[in-house]
Amino acid sequence: MGYRSYVAVGDSFTEGLNDPLPDAPPPAPGEVVRYRGWADRVAERLADLEPDFRYANLAVRGKLIDQIVADQVPVAVGLKPDLISFCAGGNDLIRPGSDPDVMAKKLAAAVRTLRATGADVVLFTGTDPRDTPIMRRVRGKFAIFFMHVRSIADLYGCHLVDMWSMQGLRDWRAWSGDRLHMNAEGHRLVAARVLHVLGVPGEDDWRKTWPPREAVDPRAKRREDVQWLREHFGPWIGRRLRGTSSGDGLAPKRPDLSPLPPVN
């Protein structure tokens, strides 16, 4: 079917980190960097097929499932779109003490609300964290939550984008230097998968096969790990200790349904 309006709900994954906007100038000191991401890419393709298409992206980096349900879901309901994508829980799962069963109940309640509007809803499983040294320690918690997501999608008639099965996302070449967010290629693959699930024709194939990589010098790998700890993991731990988030004070990049500007 053709979609005339689409609202994206979620956290940094849906906001689009770290997929730079094409031809965007370098940010000024203190300026918030804005990104493209898989949701924008999906919206661009839907706009190609529907002249009156409108799009909103309410996602904000760092948000927890309670914040997304409280702040974004009511706005999405009020906008009355044809299509809603809803991805939440990743930031909760990496925090000690989070309960995937409790999270799933919150997700299910929000999905019921979204589906009651008559909109098509897209849900997501995340990628398998077994290749990530820190997050693989809580792999079981991820798996439990994503099984709940599958069940919720089936129960409420939602589209499901299963990123756990996307082998192309298991290669680090699909990820940015922070090892938590996809790069442009990773977002392109997710967008292709979303369009495939929706039955919308697209130019890209989500079944990515990467060429073999050259052997990595162990010393270079250690230097990369040290740099990652200093530039990404250390600041993340600092925010957790301070009780702050990278999304504090940030507004959604597209808070209202509006036509998309042309992409260069």
For residue range 46-93, what is the model confidence (pLDDT) as tens digits?
Answer: 999 999 999 999 999 999 999 999 999 999 999 999 999 999 999 999
Q: Note the pLDDT of residue 133.
A: 67
Read off the pLDDT of residues 226-261 as tens digits, 9 standing for 90 and up: 776 777 667 766 776 677 777 788 999 999 999 998
Q: With bands split at pLDDT 50, 70 and 90, how would you rate the model's confidence at 1?
A: low
pLDDT above 80: residue 201: yes
CA distance 162 to 160: 6
Q: With bands split at pLDDT 50, 70 and 90, how would you rate the model's confidence at 27?
A: confident
Q: Note the pLDDT of residue 241.
A: 62
Q: Note the pLDDT of residue 101.
A: 98
CB atoms within 10 A of CB 242: 8
With the C-alpha atoms ordered 35, 36, 39, 43, is the resulting torsion angle positive or negative? positive
Q: How many CA atoms lie within 13 A of 12 on its CB side?
A: 19
| Share above pLDDT 90 across residues of the chain, in percent, rounded to a whole number | 70
Which domains does the chain show, CATH number per domain?
Answer: 5-208+218-257 (3.40.50.1110)
Mean local confidence (pLDDT), 208-232: 78
Per-position DSSP letters for the chain, written without gaps between them: ---SEEEEE-SHHHHTTT-BPTTPPPPPTTPPP-B-HHHHHHHHHHHHH-TT-EEEE---TT--HHHHHHHTHHHHHHH--SEEEE---HHHHTSTT--HHHHHHHHHHHHHHHHTTT-EEEEEE---GGGSTTGGGGHHHHHHHHHHHHHHHHHHT-EEEEGGG-GGGGSGGGB-TTSSSB-HHHHHHHHHHHHHHHT---S--S---PPPPPPPPHHHHHHHHHHHIIIIIHHHHHHHHHT--TTTTPPPSEEEEEPPPPP-
Specify the pTM.
0.91
